[in-house]
Chains A and B, each alone.
Chain A
Amino acid sequence: MERLRLVFSGSGGQGVITAAIILAEAAVLHEDLIATQAQAYGPEARGGATRSDIIISDSPIRYPKVTQPNVLVCLTQESYNKFNPIIRPGGILLTDTRFVKMHAKVDARQIQLPMYRTVMDEIGKPIVFNICMLGAVIGLTDVISPDAVMKALTARIPKGFIDLNKQALELGLAMGEAARP
């Protein structure tokens, strides 16, 4: 596979860091790939524009941070304003329709999906918004299998919440696949 560099950004509490950990962990534990996950700490991690970097590859990863992501996800206007210039030319810039108004023209495929609205309409619980986003990223990129993500999720979350997460992942997957060129 080609090396995929992703940045998930949003505000503290939206679960972007959790989503990043689940994606990278699934790649390592269930797809036998190499992955790293790093994140911004400190004041940035509490409110404001929080960010997590993920690299997934089949060859060793030395420098573990992402300077130019192939996939950039922004779940708030602030994170979009801050990070949209770093997208790798030809990459995917994914935002949520409810939270982000795109204004800049970047050399990337800009994809807006109603992830938050769909989660609220279909499930009614905002806590799985991040997993819906993760589903959309996988639907768009095929980076790892949804099965691997479900295995990582099952190991991490209480039993009662598994169906909820599965549903959110599938909603995201469907939206992501539909948005593929």
Chain B
Amino acid sequence: MNDNIKFVQGNEACVEAALYAGLEFYAGYPITPSTEIAEHMAVRLPKLGRRFIQMEDEISSICAIVGASLTGHKAMTATSGPGFSLMQEGLGYAIMAEIPCVIVNVMRGGPSTGLPTSPSQSDVYQARWGVHGDHAIIALTASNHQDVFEMTVHAFNMAETYRTPVILLLDEVIGHMRERLEIPGPEAIPVVDRLRTSVRAGIDYHPYLPREDGRLPMSDFGSEHRYNVTGLAHDMWGFPSSNPGVVHGLLRHLTDKIKNNVGNITRHKEYYLEDARTVLISYGSSARSALHVVEHQRARGERLGLLELQSLWPFPYGLVEEKCAYARNIIVVEMNMGQITRAVKRAVKDPERVVLANRIDGVFITPTDIKNILRLIQGKGV
């Protein structure tokens, strides 16, 4: 038996991947359906000589990981909707101060405490716009445990590459379900390490002065260089500034570093798209039901295909437009009232071809739910 093959919950796959990516610090407050992430971290991290802290709430959790990351340690937290709401302030701070970290939101039904034990995908827009002010964000997702592993490592890599918080949107089905996971060998998935400044101690270090390639080397806070970190608009030294030119440059930098790299950030999978007349677009656990339908209808000769999005923000408008160019119908499958459907409508040439297949009642969307929508748009009735 190969020890690298495990039968685990998606939450545990996320933990294994974070450790693979070099996670050194976890702070969190347990909440269903993300609790197993904290549980497994509490077991795994101390054994590796790394740190786990259970905080008093989600506000302190995100502040703790932001602080830990600033001192040079890869850090993450995990939560669900109610906790993610509390984290928005700290998330905005991490965006503004450009501090890499990973926040996992294992989505459940909302708003408020909503449906603690039921699946949902209704925090997609919260991930995009939960934080006030103009900003860009990276949000990733996954539909099976092998992909949970890969996307978790990708999340850490993107956080380090672009000096930004990255949100990993999982859901109750993926978090709790058990299936096979093969832990990749060392270096099978590249890991991006912290880019540290080459400026020596005693010499002026500019924490917010990008290199030519746009990346900003960091200096472990409290170590060789003294510098300022603030949520206020700031200059290249990190000191508050309301100089219009500086503010404009900062906001442009914060959004452009992500928007201009959509191609490097975007991850997707496609199934049978070559000749698909009807394209399903889905993500997370819903993509499993969608793929079930695609394979089933293909076996009956229907030309269906699936575009599975693994990165939701920045939204890959170009990719969606290209993949849907020849589709007669586009069905977006998601467990909310159409959050990604809206983005898809903006991406394609004829928005009226886009239909939503959804469920918002806390029940995992079934292949039958999708087939019923398919029959309706084919004029067959349910």
Interface residues of chain A, those whose CB is within 8 Å of chain B, are: 21, 24-25, 28-30, 34-42, 61-65, 67, 151
Is B5 located at the chain interface by the 8 A CB criterion?
yes
Is B238 located at the chain interface by the 8 A CB criterion?
no
Cβ–Cβ contact A36 & B177, under 8 A:
yes
Cβ–Cβ contact A24 & B7, under 8 A:
yes
Cβ–Cβ contact B177 & A37, under 8 A:
yes
Q: Which residue of A lies closest to B295 (CB)?
A: A62
Cβ–Cβ contact A38 & B291, under 8 A:
no
The smallest beta-carbon distance between A47 and chain B, in angstroms, is 15
Cβ–Cβ contact A36 & B179, under 8 A:
yes
Given contacts A29-B1, A30-B1, A62-B288, contact A35 B367 (CB under 8 A): no
The smallest beta-carbon distance between A57 and chain B, in angstroms, is 11
The smallest beta-carbon distance between A38 and chain B, in angstroms, is 5
Alpha-carbon distance A35/B366, docked complex (angstroms): 18
Is B226 located at the chain interface by the 8 A CB criterion?
no
Query: Can you name 25 A-B residue pairings with CB atoms under 8 Å?
Result: A24-B7, A24-B178, A25-B7, A28-B179, A29-B1, A29-B5, A30-B1, A34-B179, A35-B180, A36-B177, A36-B178, A37-B179, A38-B173, A38-B178, A39-B176, A40-B117, A41-B176, A42-B117, A62-B288, A62-B289, A62-B295, A64-B177, A65-B364, A65-B366, A67-B368
Alpha-carbon distance A37/B178, docked complex (angstroms): 5
Q: Which residue of A lies closest to B1 (CB)?
A: A29
Cβ–Cβ contact B7 & A38, under 8 A:
no
The smallest beta-carbon distance between B10 and chain A, in angstroms, is 11
Please tell me the size bucket of the interface on B.
Answer: 20 to 34
Cβ–Cβ contact A28 & B288, under 8 A:
no
Interface residues of chain B, those whose CB is within 8 Å of chain A, are: 1, 5, 7, 32-33, 116-118, 172-173, 176-180, 288-289, 291-292, 295, 364, 366-368
The smallest beta-carbon distance between A3 and chain B, in angstroms, is 12
B288 / chain A contacts, CB cutoff of 8 Å: 62-64
Given contacts A29-B5, A42-B116, contact A64 B179 (CB under 8 A): yes
**B-side interface mostly:** mixed
Alpha-carbon distance A24/B292, docked complex (angstroms): 20
The smallest beta-carbon distance between A88 and chain B, in angstroms, is 15
Of the residues B7, B32, B173, B295, contact of A64 by C-beta under 8 Å? B173
Alpha-carbon distance A40/B7, docked complex (angstroms): 18
B366 / chain A contacts, CB cutoff of 8 Å: 63, 65, 67
Of the residues B32, B178, B367, contact of A41 by C-beta under 8 Å? B32
B176 / chain A contacts, CB cutoff of 8 Å: 38-39, 41
B180 / chain A contacts, CB cutoff of 8 Å: 28, 34-35
B1 / chain A contacts, CB cutoff of 8 Å: 29-30, 151
Cβ–Cβ contact A29 & B7, under 8 A:
yes
Alpha-carbon distance A34/B173, docked complex (angstroms): 18
A151 / chain B contacts, CB cutoff of 8 Å: 1
Beyond A34-B179, A37-B7, A42-B116, 4 extra complex contacts between A and B, CB < 8 Å? A37-B177, A38-B173, A42-B32, A64-B173
The smallest beta-carbon distance between A55 and chain B, in angstroms, is 9
Alpha-carbon distance A41/B115, docked complex (angstroms): 11
Q: Which residue of A lies closest to B8 (CB)?
A: A25
Q: Which residue of B lies closest to A40 (CB)?
A: B117
A61 / chain B contacts, CB cutoff of 8 Å: 179
Alpha-carbon distance A62/B364, docked complex (angstroms): 13
Of the residues A28, A42, A63, A67, contact of B7 by C-beta under 8 Å? A28
Of the residues A28, A36, A40, A65, contact of B5 by C-beta under 8 Å? A28
Alpha-carbon distance A39/B291, docked complex (angstroms): 21
Of the residues A25, A28, A63, contact of B367 by C-beta under 8 Å? A63
B295 / chain A contacts, CB cutoff of 8 Å: 62
The smallest beta-carbon distance between B250 and chain A, in angstroms, is 44
Alpha-carbon distance A18/B295, docked complex (angstroms): 32
The smallest beta-carbon distance between A41 and chain B, in angstroms, is 4
Q: Which residue of B lies closest to A44 (CB)?
A: B117
Alpha-carbon distance A97/B325, docked complex (angstroms): 60
A24 / chain B contacts, CB cutoff of 8 Å: 7, 178
List 3 tightest A-B contacts by C-beta distance, closest first: A42-B117, A62-B292, A41-B117
